Amino acid sequence: MKMKTAASLMTVISALSFGAFAADSISLEQAQGLQPMGTVTTSGIDASPSDIHQALNDAADAKGAKAYRIIEAREGDNWHATAELYK
């Protein structure tokens, strides 16, 4: 059940669009052909999925990424998410 929740959460987080950020959230298909440049992780966030998305966006922007793709997201006492960064 947790795997279904995590998969649904990843879909929701990936679908959110915030327009004015330097780094764009992209899908697996959009990542094809882009050069990976590492990962970022956010954790301990007791908030909504949009706050997780914002935290990943800020971390990707701080590392100079043009795009990121969420590769893991889970919920326990707090949210945790990991994103792969792209140049």
CA distance 38 to 49: 22
- 44: which residues sit within 8 A by CB, 6+ positions away? 78, 80
Question: For a pLDDT cut of 70, what percent of the chain falls above it?
Answer: 74
Q: Mean per-residue pLDDT for 37-63?
A: 88
Confidence of residue 21 (pLDDT cuts 50, 70, 90): very low
Q: Mean per-residue pLDDT for 57-70?
A: 94
Say yes or no to pLDDT of 39 above 60.
yes
Say yes or no to pLDDT of 24 above 70.
yes
Q: Are the C-beta atoms of 78 and 41 separated by less than 8 Å?
A: no
75 or 59, higher pLDDT: 59
Q: Mean per-residue pLDDT for 35-41?
A: 96
Q: Are the C-beta atoms of 68 and 85 separated by less than 8 Å?
A: yes
Amino acid at 2: K
Q: Are the C-beta atoms of 47 and 76 separated by less than 8 Å?
A: no
